[in-house]
Chain A
Amino acid sequence: RKEVEQDPGPFNVPEGATVAFNCTYSNSASQSFFWYRQDCRKEPKLLMSVYSSGNEDGRFTAQLNRASQYISLLIRDSKLSDSATYLCVVNNGGMRFGAGTRLTVKP
């Protein structure tokens, strides 16, 4: 079983849609959690950290469920510029990346 698992997608949604990505992790001792974004042929960049209480940054909301070892990312009012691959990342004494979920937002 992979340490971090994500639905690979692709997710194809129209502008303005709400889309949610899920991620599960296997190591219950994992300390911290993140979502990274990777544009085509670019390096990954931090999108947001994920806190136990859940956190929001503009149109983006991240949730963590430690009991179920589950992380989510919700994007509201999606924009064309949100098209990218979204990587779930778990730190359990080393950063471990999921394979990513590809999102395409269409006009």
Chain B
Amino acid sequence: GAGVSQSPSNKVTEKGKDVELRCDPISGHTALYWYRQSLGQGLEFLIYFQGNSAPDKSGLPSDRFSAERTGGSVSTLTIQRTQQEDSAVYLCASSQVLAGGRDTQYFGPGTRLTVL
């Protein structure tokens, strides 16, 4: 079946512009995560959506970052007034929520964002 898809795969933008990154999770997965990974670094948690619950936004680095998940499916991560330090690969993952926390996350291929 189809995996997690993300678009665009690459985005080059100028400092100060807004960008929108899209994630299509696996159908039926109620949990959706956004992460950021800078070159050679680990995954940085950004935001977590689970069903109809309020999202866990504790990882968003500033108020320039926001995310929505419409209809419990597609999610959009928006970065306003981009800065050069926002350059990274933005990864989306989805999972079913299983008892005992035994979720398996499936990652999309990521969006590589470059802010000039």
Contacts and interface: CB of A to CB of B under 8 A. Distances in A.
Interface of A: 30-32, 34, 36, 43-46, 49, 87, 89, 91-100
Q: Is the interface of A mostly helix, strand, loop or mixed?
A: strand
Nearest to B50: A94
A95 B101 CA distance: 9
Given A87-B43, A94-B45, A99-B42, A43 B100 contact: no
Contacts of A43: 91, 107-110
B42 A97 contact: yes
B48 interface: yes
Given A43-B110, A87-B43, A97 B103 contact: no
A87 B42 contact: yes
Contact of A32 (B33, B43, B91, B100): B100
A46 B105 contact: yes
B91 to A, nearest CB: 6
A30 B102 CA distance: 11
Interface of B: 33, 35, 41-43, 45, 48, 56, 91, 93, 95, 100-105, 107-110
Nearest to A41: B89
Contacts of B102: 32, 49
Contacts of A46: 104-105
A99 B45 contact: no
A87 B9 CA distance: 23
For the complex of A and B, the 5 pairs showing the least CB-CB separation, nearest first, are A99-B42, A31-B101, A43-B107, A32-B101, A91-B101
A44 B101 contact: no
Contact of B33 (A87, A95, A99): A95
